[in-house]
Amino acid sequence: MTKTKLKFIDLFAGLGGFHKALHELGHECVFVSELDPTLRQVYQENWGIEAQGDIKKIVEKEIESIPPHDILCAGFPCQPFSKAGKQLGRDDDRGTLFDEIAKILAFRKPKFFILENVPFIKQHDNEETWNYMHNELSSLGYTVDHQVYSPQDFGVPQHRKRIFIVGSLIGLDHFSFDEIDEQKTPIIDIHQFIEEKPKLFKELPKANQECLKLWQTFIDQIPKETKLPGFPIWGMEFGATYPYEKSYPLKLSAKNLGEYKGNFGKALKGMSKKDQRANLPSYARVEKSFPSWKRNYIRQSRDFYNDNKKYINGVVAKIAEYPSQSWQKLEWNVGDGERKLENYILQFRASGIRVKKVDFFPSLVCTNTQIPIIGWQKRYITREEGLKLQSLEGISLPQNDNAAFKALGNAVNSKIVKLIAEKLIQEQPKVVELNGAKKAINGTQVNSAITNELNYERIK
């Protein structure tokens, strides 16, 4: 912990993951920006400071209202760069918010910054986005470094990789991510993050429980000597014959497509093109060739069905009755683990029902439809458990559960920020002039481009 209390600003602040980390290190927040009005209110309740609104408008019209500070923190919106999104990057209006960060850095010249985003930002647009960002930060006089971490690296059972980008106007000779790496631990006890008898919790709806029972019956019908597949099981492909290797269904006329079968072996003969389309899996209603990964999953699911249909036909007919195709898919990610769904961490996702080992939770995301489920308790994780997974224990969340879990999904993990900040934020060396040459008293090399920003005294 540094001895000097420094001032920091918290941009795209959310619940205040950066604030919690730097507050615990003894620093003072002097400015906050958050677009969501609900989160602005919660932020003030938690931290006692009023959060301002749209940072773009502030930077454009009143950048001087952002007070001088030593540290800029920003977990700027990740959706434009996320592989789960459309990957529009800087073509997305939110993707240009990095430019607002750069303008603040140029105007106030804080000594340090810590930024957080999804790792894919480094590969986005053939690394053009990353090169642009790095060049902008370097041109402002910052020495820049980065590393990818997940809470699970430091004993918090959540798989959530994020890139952390740091910068310093006094160089980074005093800082190395290697020191952060030394604090990694393989020891994770997920049960320390799960309440055995929580007072407040949301039970898994009966319909979801019945769906899991049906898939459990499916699993139970598979012979023990048959390995459960690690690829996603797409139930709609059970009995389907529509073309997918070299062509695609909608390329065919209604008459030609009528020679094939669609969802769960539904005959397409005699249907209009519109009805044929409705009886195909949603991912097959395309007007271009299937990508290779999709062809593989279709082929694997069909082969698995053909090998096991004599065991599972009865239960497959019931799975086919579900109106949601996401409930007709299963992602078994536990290998040779015990074949009991209730023993695992579960998620109902658009891609299917995902089954995960009990070693760490999947990444919290900004949608309430994918809240992790504790299978053996038949409930979603609680708000308090979500806070623990983001190292945000002790703070208040929005009253509405949907808003609360959306905020948790967007939050930065406070523990990782604290580990980085503790090593990054150091007191500046005092610069002196000896025989006409400026040098740091402690011997640290000081970037000549910023020596005029440092306080120094002349020794005669």
**Residues 105-135: pLDDT tens digits?**
999 999 999 999 999 898 877 888 899 999 9
- The 10 Å Cβ neighbour count of residue 400 is 12
Over the range 285-300, which residues count as b (16 or more CB within 10 Å of their CB) and which as e? ebeeebeeeeeebbeb
Whether 203 has a pLDDT exceeding 70, the answer reads yes
**Residues 249-292: pLDDT tens digits?**
999 999 999 999 999 999 999 999 999 999 999 999 988 889 99
Is the whole model's pTM more than 0.95, yes or no? no
Structure confidence at residue 79 (pLDDT): 52
Structure confidence at residue 3 (pLDDT): 63
Q: Which domains does the chain have, with CATH numbers?
A: 7-187+411-427 (3.40.50.150), 206-381 (no CATH), 429-460 (no CATH)
**Residues 367-388: pLDDT tens digits?**
767 899 999 999 999 999 999 9
Read off the pLDDT of each residue in 394-419 and give the average, rounded to a whole number: 95
Q: Identify whether 78 is a catalytic site residue.
A: yes
Question: Which of the residues 73, 78, 211, 366 is marked catalytic?
Answer: 78
Q: Is 214 exposed, middle or buried (0-12, 13-18, 19+ CB in 10 A)?
A: middle
